[in-house]
């Protein structure tokens, strides 16, 4: 009996040792797993911090372009060959900048010209360091944008609806300048373009200038904000307003005019000015148009240039107009209307009658250059991606 108890005690001891060994192994494994998980969490957190630091660098660079930062104007243009070369270095525009504790970003850029606007390529590197200052994680983002300034919108006739459209052969339209179109166009019939043609869609038919179909750098219509023009204004009118001098007289214009309502304008003028309307701009039918004249009262495109910007439509009716036009709505004209100067609109509507069979003519006149700063800088994001490898 005593021998059996000693034998059982030995078995119990072995069993206890085995259980303790298993618990030790499990505890050790759990500790290792927990430590590894903690390292992975910290590593992932570091990558996240680095990514958002790089993202903040891109956002700061975009804001700098829109605010006309000094570095943007100082950044030299390079050829498209160098611009597309991955081995060609970026020019630093923001040196390493601390975003938060142990988190920094730095941004480089390349700049090149294209047919419409400017191309900018940004490389932003975000870095996260540990408490000892050792590199822990890095992320690199690449972003390419098109940049469009005032002059890019007033190079000819730009038709920039939010949704692409197709201009047909039935349009009674003759364009003696560059045509920029968000959409496609069918040339021939009553639609004639005598300058270069850029379209986001297809182009059918012939024209004497360069044709670029499915062009990727068509600008978006700029974002027009009333506050921007109100801050520029030297004269403000809070109702529908008429500028139409008596026959034989001349209006002298200068500065920026802000009209909270519809603007009616016609007659002879001298001087350079910007007119902004929160409604429509109308050159009344039969008014004789809007003509710059010299001191003797003779038409002279060098005597002045008006920039007319409307949140609604611009209606020139059957008139001859010398001005640079921009409308968030449509450019409306009767068949015999003639525009000497550039225009940027989201649509065009030409009313043709037997008495006024058209076509409406748009003739580019370099003297009708837009007022400086007439349109805020506009950007269009072309790509935004992460570069690999990372560490």
Cα–Cα distance measured from residue 362 to residue 366, given in angstroms and rounded to the nearest whole number:
13
Residue 231 has a pLDDT of 95
How would you write 243-308 as a 3-class SS string?
A: ECCCCCCEEECCEEEEECCCEEECEEEEEEEEEEECCCEECCCCCCCEEEECCCCCECHHHEEEEE
DSSP state of 171: -
Q: Write out the H or E segment, with its range, that includes residue 120.
A: strand 118-129
42-51, 150-159, 283-292: least confidently modelled range = 42-51
Q: Could you tell me what percent of the chain has a pLDDT over 90?
A: 65
Cα–Cα distance measured from residue 270 to residue 324, given in angstroms and rounded to the nearest whole number:
15
If one counts every other C-beta atom within 10 angstroms of the C-beta of residue 86, the result is: 6
Asked whether residue 356 carries a pLDDT value surpassing 90, the answer given is no
Asked whether residue 140 carries a pLDDT value surpassing 80, the answer given is yes
Best CA proximity match to 296, nearest among 267, 268, 275, 337: 268
Confidence of residue 12 (pLDDT cuts 50, 70, 90): confident
Instruction: Indicate the average pLDDT of the chain.
Output: 88
Confidence of residue 229 (pLDDT cuts 50, 70, 90): very high
Average pLDDT over residues 137-151: 94
Asked whether residue 1 carries a pLDDT value surpassing 50, the answer given is no
Q: What angle do CA 37, 43, 49 make, to 5 degrees?
A: 135
307's CB contacts (< 8 A; 6+ apart) are 273, 274, 275, 323, 324, 326, 370, 371, 374
Sheet holding 183-186, edge to edge: 165-167, 183-186, 203-204
**Pair 253, 235: CB distance under 8 Å:** no
Confidence of residue 259 (pLDDT cuts 50, 70, 90): very high
39's CB contacts (< 8 A; 6+ apart) are none
Work out whether strand 156-159 and strand 178-181 pair parallel, antiparallel, or are unpaired.
parallel
Best CA proximity match to 65, nearest among 369, 381, 384: 381
Structure tokens at 236: 């403000």
Give me the torsion for CA of 277, 278, 280, 281, rounded to 10°: 0
DSSP state of 367: G
Asked whether residue 377 carries a pLDDT value surpassing 80, the answer given is yes
Residues of 305-314 as b/e, b for ≥16 C-beta within 10 angstroms? Answer: bbbbbbbbbb
Asked whether residue 104 carries a pLDDT value surpassing 90, the answer given is yes
256's CB contacts (< 8 A; 6+ apart) are 229, 232, 233, 234, 235, 273, 274, 275, 276, 371
Question: What is the helix, strand, coil percentage profile of the chain, to 5?
Answer: 25, 40, 35
Phi-psi group of 199: left, alpha or beta (phi > 0 → left; psi -120 to 50 → alpha; rest → beta): beta
């Amino acid at each position: 009996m005593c021998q059996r108890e000693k034998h059982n005690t030995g078995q119990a001891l072995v069993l206890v040792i085995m259980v303790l060994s298993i618990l030790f192994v499990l505890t050790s494994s759990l500790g290792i797993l927990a430590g590894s998980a903690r390292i992975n969490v910290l590593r992932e957190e570091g990558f996240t911090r680095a990514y958002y630091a790089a993202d903040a660098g891109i956002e700061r660079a975009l804001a700098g372009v829109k605010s006309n930062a000094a570095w943007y104007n100082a950044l030299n243009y390079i050829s498209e060959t160098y611009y597309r070369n991955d081995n060609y270095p970026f020019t630093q525009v923001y040196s390493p900048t601390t975003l938060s504790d142990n988190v920094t970003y730095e941004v480089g850029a390349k700049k090149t010209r294209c047919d419409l606007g400017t191309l900018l390529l940004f490389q932003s590197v975000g870095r996260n360091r540990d408490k000892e200052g050792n590199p822990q994680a890095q992320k690199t983002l690449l972003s390419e944008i098109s940049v469009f300034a005032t002059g890019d919108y007033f190079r000819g006739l730009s038709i920039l609806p939010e949704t692409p459209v197709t201009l047909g052969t039935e349009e009674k339209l003759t364009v003696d300048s560059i045509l920029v179109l968000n959409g496609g166009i069918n040339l021939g019939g009553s639609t004639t373009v005598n300058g270069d043609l850029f379209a986001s869609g297809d182009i059918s038919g012939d024209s004497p200038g360069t044709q670029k179909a499915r062009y990727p750098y068509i600008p978006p219509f700029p974002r027009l904000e009333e506050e921007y023009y109100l801050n520029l204004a030297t004269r403000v009118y809070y109702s529908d307003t008429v500028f139409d001098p008596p026959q034989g007289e001349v209006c002298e214009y200068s500065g920026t005019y802000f009209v909270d309502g519809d603007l009616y304008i016609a007659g002879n003028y001298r001087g350079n000015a910007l007119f902004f309307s929160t409604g429509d701009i109308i050159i009344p039918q039969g008014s004789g148009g809007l003509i710059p004249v010299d001191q003797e009262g003779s038409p002279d495109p060098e005597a002045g240039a008006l920039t007319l910007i409307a949140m609604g439509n611009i209606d020139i009716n059957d008139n001859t107009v010398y001005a640079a036009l921009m409308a968030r709505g449509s450019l409306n004209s009767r068949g015999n209307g003639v525009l000497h100067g550039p225009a940027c609109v989201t649509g065009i509507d030409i009313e043709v009658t037997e008495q006024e069979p058209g076509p409406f003519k748009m003739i580019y006149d370099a003297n009708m250059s837009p007022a400086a700063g007439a349109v805020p800088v506009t950007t269009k994001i072309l790509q935004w991606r992460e570069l690999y490898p990372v560490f």
